[in-house]
Amino acid sequence: LFPVKVVAYYGIFDRIARWKSIDKFGMNVLVIGSNIFISNSSKYEVNNKGIKKEIVFKGHENLMYDLVKSSVGDIDICSICSIDKRETNGHGKTEPIELKTFDIDKKDGKTFYRALSAAIKLTLAKTKEIVIKYNDTEDRYTLNDGVLKHHLNQADDIDLR
């Protein structure tokens, strides 16, 4: 349905990669060719006005996903973890079942985090909309050819291409 993919990606990003900052979502988008990698965010984020925002990817099963950032050296990597199933991590904290522990290693004097879990791939064909919730407001965006469109046309389009 959509030619673009949202992917959880572990590895060194290609030189053709470019970052786009999407302040509306409080997240960054990495574009490599026709692929979109979303990073630098979590399910709940408090902006500078103290408003708590929830970012939800809704698909055929209306599952919700955490967007989790990590890094290798100076390279940002990300994962997208389903939060429809939860488990206790042994410390009394409930976490997404796909979210694994991040090991901290040192290499060349730098600390970097290595994700242990396998990459989780999602296609936007299964993502009908992205929902941003804050206070009593809810913004819904649908993706069409790499452009996010507000459901009521009350906000500017967000071009991810």
Residue whose tokens read 């990590």 = 70
pLDDT of 97 higher than 70: no
User: What is the value of pTM for the model shown?
Assistant: 0.35
Q: Which of 24-33, 59-68, 107-116, 147-156 has the lowest mean pLDDT?
A: 107-116
| Cα–Cα distance measured from residue 36 to residue 123, given in angstroms and rounded to the nearest whole number | 10
Helices (H) and strands (E) in the chain — how many of each? Answer: 0, 17
| Cα–Cα distance measured from residue 60 to residue 47, given in angstroms and rounded to the nearest whole number | 29
